[in-house]
Amino acid sequence: MNDCGGSLVCVRCGARYPNDHYDRPCSACAADNIASNLTVAYDQRPGEGRAREAMRRGPRSLWRWDAFLSASASAAVSLGEGDTPLLPVPALGLGDVWIKDESRNPTWSFKDRLASASVTMARRFGAKLIASSSSGNAGASAAAYAAKAGLPCIVFTFNGAAGPLLTQMRAYGAMVAVVEDRDDRWRLQAAGVKRFGWFSTSPFFGPVVGSNPYGIEGYKTIAYEIAEAFDWRPPDWCVLPVCYGDALYGMWKGFEELKAIGWIDRVPRFVAAEVSGSLAAALIAGDRMPPPRPRNAATIATSIGANQGTVQALEVLRHTKGAAVAVDDDDLLRWVATLASTEGIWAESSAVAALAAIEQMRGRGTIGPKDRVVALVTASGLKDVAPIEKTLRPAPIVRGTLDDVLRALDETYGFHHG
């Protein structure tokens, strides 16, 4: 276990800050008109001196990797998150692609890793309340882990957020506040942080830099699990749905840490699947910061619906010679249905963005025919059923004999019994 890290450092310029500056961006970069997040810097190299085999003996959660994290497993606020399956998906026709299925986490999304790591540190810092601004997954996770920690939780969300997600937050006991103007979420949360010292797990100011640095440490464990599953031979590519790049940065940092202690010999290239095109534009133009890229219409991929990427995401793509790929709603709907009907994995619309990006990159030859690729599927389709429900045939109402049922199945689904 690493004790809180000696400090926090800027992901871009390396400026160093005290370990309680988790609720603010890098002031050195801000003076240069760049919004950049901080990350945890440890007093010793994470994992150094530990044996790979020892990692198998810890709790069956992300906290078996506590030698790489900010707190010990014994101090963790945990619901058994992590250790999600890594599954081959040959029926998709995308080549050597594996899915890291994060819908198997306790609240059915990858945000549980961030929530467990951040709420653990919130309790350690003596926080009295957990706060989140969220359209869904982050708020649901924050609510669940706050409940486990015995802390009150407030979630600011907006009109139009998916109904099942709002119900999930409320079921965990969160105080959900719905604002009419999306920007009010951050304004109100920032006021609570300043006035009462609320512990924020999510972004709450703009331009957005990313989530709480201690929370992002939880995403490193996705990299550790992938490396372990492949017998410490990393894939060639990791492709993720990206909004603010928290998981992107955390996974990259995790692979870098494994390489630094000699457990792996290389780091995968990373791809950001986005809806705005902000990161892609920054890579093409060589911008220091991703530009805003407003859309003419809302996307069904609300979990990655931001109009502007972050510096932390851009840094990862540049470090790994990666790429950013814009995906559209039609491709997302097609991949939700394809993944569910061929591999038995029902993911939310945002969660299949990686598959749409892989399809494009395979088609262009950017991802080679023999390259091994891991796609992060971030959340369950039960989180937001409306987009896919509109594309499905209504189930027929049947009565009478079995022959009547077979006729109805033929008419509705084109099914012919052999």
pLDDT at site 214: 98
pLDDT at site 5: 52
**In the block, residue with structure tokens 């299949």:** 352
pLDDT at site 23: 95
Which residues share a beta bridge with 239?
A: 271, 375
Q: CA nearest 317: which of 242, 228, 210?
A: 242
Which residues share a beta bridge with 17?
A: 8
In the sheet that holds 97-101, the strands lie side by side as 86-88, 97-101, 373-377, 237-241, 269-274, 323-326
Q: 150-182, pLDDT tens digit by residue?
A: 999 999 998 877 788 899 999 999 999 999 888
Distance CA 79, CA 82 (A): 9
pLDDT at site 124: 96
Could you tell me the pTM of the whole model? Answer: 0.96
Per-position DSSP letters for 363-410, written without gaps between them? HHTSS-TT--EEEEE-BBGGG--HHHHTTSPPPPP--S-HHHHHHHHH
Distance CA 306, CA 310 (A): 10
Distance CA 136, CA 165 (A): 5
User: Half-sphere exposure of 174 toward its Cβ, with a 13 Å CA cutoff?
Assistant: 31
Per-residue model confidence as pLDDT tens for the chain (418 residues) = 555 557 999 999 999 999 999 999 999 999 999 999 999 999 989 998 888 888 888 888 999 999 999 999 999 999 999 999 999 999 999 999 999 999 999 999 999 999 999 999 999 999 999 999 987 899 999 999 999 999 999 999 988 777 888 999 999 999 999 998 888 999 999 999 999 999 999 999 889 999 999 999 999 999 999 999 999 999 999 999 999 999 999 999 999 999 999 999 999 999 999 999 999 999 999 999 999 999 878 899 989 999 999 999 999 999 999 999 999 999 999 999 999 999 999 999 999 999 999 999 999 999 999 999 999 999 999 988 988 888 888 999 999 999 999 999 999 999 988 7
